[in-house]
Structure formats: structure tokens, C-alpha cells
Amino acid sequence: MDELIGRLATNASIDSAVAEKTVGIILGFLRSEGPSDSVQALIDQIPGAEAVIEASTTGGGLSRLMGGGLMAVGTRLMSLGLGMSDIQTIARELFRYGRDKIGADRMGKIIAGTPGLGQFA
């Protein structure tokens, strides 16, 4: 997890705490919306991923009010102070990291199999 957070913080010029929250939000979204076998393979390759996903889902009422899907993820990420270009940079870096961990084919399945994600690839 530290490697991924460091990469995101450096490449997106964001604080490491924001990077960690971002990873949890995005992985949680992928888990709920993406192809489960490929997403779980990715999560399994990131030590500490389960903990950051869990921490990102404890938002309670606000998360439930925003609903689901990519728009809700965008809203949550923007509430962390991220702009659209930050989110695109983070997504691309996360996809690169995923390709390194589970291979291009599986990462491609996640991107293709998750509604709306292709625009960030």
C-alpha cells in the first residue's frame, strides 16, 4: 500500500493521507461495480487494501445520500479537494500500478467491465 500511496502522492502532487483515502474510495467502487474476480485479484495484490476500503466506506449518511456509481465516486473525490485533472492522473497511475500487479489483460477487464471507467484509462 505504501508504494501505491507514494506513487499517487508524488505523481498527482497530493498529500499521502488524501492519496490513501482516494485509493480506498476507488477500490471500493471497483469492488462494487467492476468484474469481481479481476477486482479481487487486484485487491489481493495490494497489502492493506482491505483496510483502506473499509475506512473509506465508513462515511455513513453522506455516502448513502450520494448514491452509487461513478458520479458518486467523483463527488467523494472532489470533496477531498481533488479536481478533475487530479482524478484523471490518479486513475491513470492506479491503472499502471494495477497492470504491474495483475497484468494488462486483467486490468483491461476491470476497465472495460466497470461502467464509465474507460474515460479515465
Per residue in 31-60, pLDDT tens?
999 999 999 999 999 999 999 999 998 655
Average pLDDT value for residue range 12-30:
95
- For all residues of the chain together, what is the average pLDDT? 90
Say if 15 falls within a structural domain.
yes
Residue 121 placed within a domain: no
Neighbours of 48 (CB within 10 A): 14
- 120 occurs within a structural domain: no
State the DSSP H helix or E strand holding residue 113, giving kind and residue range, or none if neither: helix 104-113
pLDDT at 118: 83
Q: Residue 61: which pLDDT band, with cuts at 50, 70 and 90?
A: very low
Look up residue 48 and give its three cell numbers.
492493506
DSSP 83: -
26, part of any domain: yes
CB 80 within 8 A of CB 22: yes
> Structurally, how many domains does the chain consist of?
1
Given pLDDT bands bounded at 50, 70 and 90, which one contains residue 121? confident
pTM of the model: 0.89
- Is 103 inside any structural domain? yes
Say if CB 19 and CB 11 are below 8 A apart. Answer: no
Which domain covers residue 32, as residue numbers?
2-115
Report the helix count and the strand count for the chain, using DSSP H and E.
Answer: 8, 0
For position 55, which CATH number holds? 1.10.490
